[in-house]
């Protein structure tokens, strides 16, 4: 029995945020535009492809697209972005949404012994917190343990950062055998493969199921919580 419990106690689940747990439905873009203009003095004209990238990476690429060779440092932008989200939090609540099944899936995993849930997101820590709190999802997640875009602009590097934080907070050792990333994009799959985690891809984010086949498991959406739990157990041997 003791052996079984120890094994179950060692699973770290890391959730991607955008298009996996929530959709900002335009509020994310509006917040980015406001922060970009405030910090650089330039109106946002266009954006690079952003899915699966980190915020510092997106900021740098956007600055390049606007011909800015030496944009203001990222921390200034991050601060303006958090303020822009706080200003729009009511709008985010009304216009955005949690994805289908997200809250129930988080609650179900939270009710199981030994599964630690946090996030692995290209968003900054502060914006991640605002987004999750807006939809009441933060209460199932240990946000201290997570890893964020402002920890490292290279997304795969966020996996060992989250694993080390989880080990410090909970004890144990987290590696690719007991860490599961749940995300919606090819970027999430590469992040898990390169960073050292199993990966469950959720097709509801818009990337076609056929393109997600390099994930360990592909789910249509998050509406079957027991199925997610079974997949986590199967991938980690818990
Ligand atoms: Mg995503």
pLDDT in tens, 189-201: 999 999 999 999 9
Distance of CA 201 from the midpoint of ligand 1 (Å): 10
Residue 5 confidence (pLDDT)? 42
Distance 23 CA to ligand 1 centre (A): 9
Q: To the nearest whole number, what is the mean pLDDT of the chain?
A: 94
Q: Give bridge partners of residue 217 from the DSSP assignment.
A: 200
pLDDT score recorded for residue 158: 98
- If you measure from the C-alpha of residue 219 to the centroid of ligand 1, how many angstroms do you get, rounded to a whole number? 14
Distance from residue 28's CA to the centre of ligand 1 (Å): 13
- Give residue 93 CA to ligand 1 midpoint distance, Å: 18
Cα 3 to averaged position of ligand 1 atoms, centre (Å): 35
Q: From ligand 1's centre to the CA of 9, what distance in Å? A: 27
Confidence band, pLDDT 50/70/90 cuts, at residue 1: very low
Gap from CA of 11 to ligand 1 centroid (Å): 21
- Can you tell me the mean pLDDT for 118-135? 98
Q: How confident is the model at residue 170 (pLDDT cuts 50, 70, 90)?
A: confident
pLDDT digits (tens, 9 = 90+) for 49-64: 988 899 999 999 999 9
DSSP the chain: -HHHHHHHTTEEEEE--BTTTEE-TTHHHHHHHHHHHHHHSS--------TT--HHHHHHHHHHHTT-SSPPPHHHHHHHHHHHHHHTHHHHHHH-EEPTTHHHHHHHHHHSTTEEEEEEESS-HHHHHHHHHHTT-GGGS-TTT-EETTT-SSGGGHHHHHHHHHHHHH-S---TTTEEEEESSHHHHHHHHHHT-EEEEEGGGSS-GGGGTTSSEEES-S--HHHHHHHHHHHHT-
- 120 C-alpha to center of ligand 1: Å? 10
**Ligand 1 centre distance from Cα of residue 119 (Å):** 11
Residues 36-46: what's their mean pLDDT?
Answer: 98
Q: Is the pLDDT of residue 168 over 90?
A: yes
Cα 141 to ligand 1 centroid, rounded to whole Å: 17
Q: What is the per-residue pLDDT for 9? A: 61
Cα 207 to averaged position of ligand 1 atoms, centre (Å):
10
Position 150 scores a pLDDT of: 95
CB proximity list for 140: less than 8 A, separation 6 or greater: 103, 106, 107, 109, 110, 117
Pairing of strands 22-23, 97-98: antiparallel
Residue 184 Cα to ligand 1 middle (Å): 5
Q: What is the pLDDT of residues 62-100, one digit of tens each?
A: 999 999 999 999 999 999 999 999 999 999 999 999 999
Indicate the pairing of strand 11-15 with strand 179-183: parallel
pLDDT at 3: 40
The rounded Å distance from CA 52 to ligand 1 centre is 6
CA of 29 to the centre of ligand 1 (A): 14
C-alpha pair distances (Å), 217 with each of 53, 80, 153, 180, 189: 21, 37, 26, 10, 10
Is the pTM here over 0.85, yes or no?
yes
Q: How far is the CA of 53 from the centre of ligand 1 (A)?
A: 9
Tokens coding 212: 């997600």
Please state, as a whole number, how many other Cβ atoms lie within 10 Å of the Cβ of residue 69: 6
Give me 146's structure tokens: 């997570």
Q: Compute the distance from residue 162 Cα to the ligand 1 centre, in Å.
A: 17
């Amino acid at each position: 029995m003791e052996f079984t419990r120890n094994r179950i106690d060692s699973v770290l689940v890391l959730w991607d945020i955008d298009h996996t747990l929530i959709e900002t439905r335009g509020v994310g873009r509006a917040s980015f535009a406001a922060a970009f203009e405030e910090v650089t003095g330039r109106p946002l004209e266009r954006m690079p492809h952003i899915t699966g990238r980190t915020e510092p990476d997106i900021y740098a690429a956007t600055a390049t697209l606007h011909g800015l060779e030496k944009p203001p440092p990222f921390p200034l932008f991050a601060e303006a972005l958090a303020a822009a989200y706080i200003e729009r939090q009511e709008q985010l609540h009304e216009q955005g949404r949690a994805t289908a099944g997200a809250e129930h899936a988080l609650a179900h995993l939270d009710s199981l012994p030994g599964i630690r849930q946090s996030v692995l997101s290209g968003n900054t820590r502060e914006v991640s917190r605002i987004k999750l709190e807006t939809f009441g999802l933060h209460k199932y997640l240990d946000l201290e343990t997570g890893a964020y875009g402002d920890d490292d602009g290279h997304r795969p590097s966020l996996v060992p950062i989250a694993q080390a934080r989880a080990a410090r907070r909970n004890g144990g050792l987290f590696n690719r055998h007991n860490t599961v990333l749940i995300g919606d994009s090819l970027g999430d799959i590469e992040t898990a493969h390169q960073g050292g985690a199993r990966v469950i891809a959720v097709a509801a984010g818009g990337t076609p199921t056929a393109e997600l086949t390099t994930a360990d498991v592909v789910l249509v959406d998050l509406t079957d919580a027991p199925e997610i739990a079974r997949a986590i157990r199967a991938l980690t041997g818990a």
